């Protein structure tokens, strides 16, 4: 993964991940569509087959959006006490919008951190 790191200056994995850029060069796009990864970087040719974010982005999105939306809904219910239809009108679109926005950013972040830390599936060291 990091065999040719001397040819490319190090990039900030957080910045490039949140912007959906290549973890090696920081220029090429990471995604082909909304959250589907491209086969390789168009700028430096890095093969993205190493990347497997798994369920990590989904877990973070659930925790972050759940905390924000449920907290805001509870605060609104206690302090303002609006009708139930207004809760539905406010919190369901907010939860969906935040989830979609965060999913792409967090998947890019986890793929970039996976490249930066040379993460790979677990191995048993029998040596």
pLDDT in tens, 37-85: 999 999 999 999 988 888 999 999 999 999 999 999 999 999 999 999 9
Average pLDDT for residues 12-27, to the nearest whole number? 95
Parse the chain into domains and list their residue ranges: 5-116
Residue 127 has pLDDT above 70, yes or no: no
More confident residue, 6 or 91: 91
Other CB atoms within 10 A of residue 102 CB: 19
d(CA 84, CA 86): 5
Average pLDDT, the chain: 91
Is 32 within 8 Å of 51 (Cβ atoms)?
Answer: no
Q: Are 53 and 111 in contact (CB under 8 A)?
A: yes
Q: List, in sequence order, every residue forming a beta bridge with 116; answer none if it has no partner.
A: none
Q: Is the pLDDT of residue 123 over 80?
A: no
pTM for the predicted model, two decimal places: 0.85
């Amino acid at each position: 993964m990091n065999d040719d790191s001397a040819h490319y200056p190090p990039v900030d994995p957080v910045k490039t991940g949140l912007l959906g850029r290549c973890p090696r060069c920081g220029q090429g796009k990471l995604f082909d569509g909304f959250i589907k990864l491209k086969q390789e970087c168009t700028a430096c040719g890095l093969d993205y087959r190493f990347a497997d974010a798994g369920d990590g982005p989904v877990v973070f999105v659930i925790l972050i959006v759940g905390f924000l939306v449920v907290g805001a809904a509870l605060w609104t219910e206690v302090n303002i006490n609006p009708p139930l239809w207004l809760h539905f009108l406010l919190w369901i679109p907010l939860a969906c919008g935040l989830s979609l926005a965060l999913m792409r950013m967090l998947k890019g972040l986890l793929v970039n951190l996976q490249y930066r830390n040379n993460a790979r599936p677990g191995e048993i060291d029998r040596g």
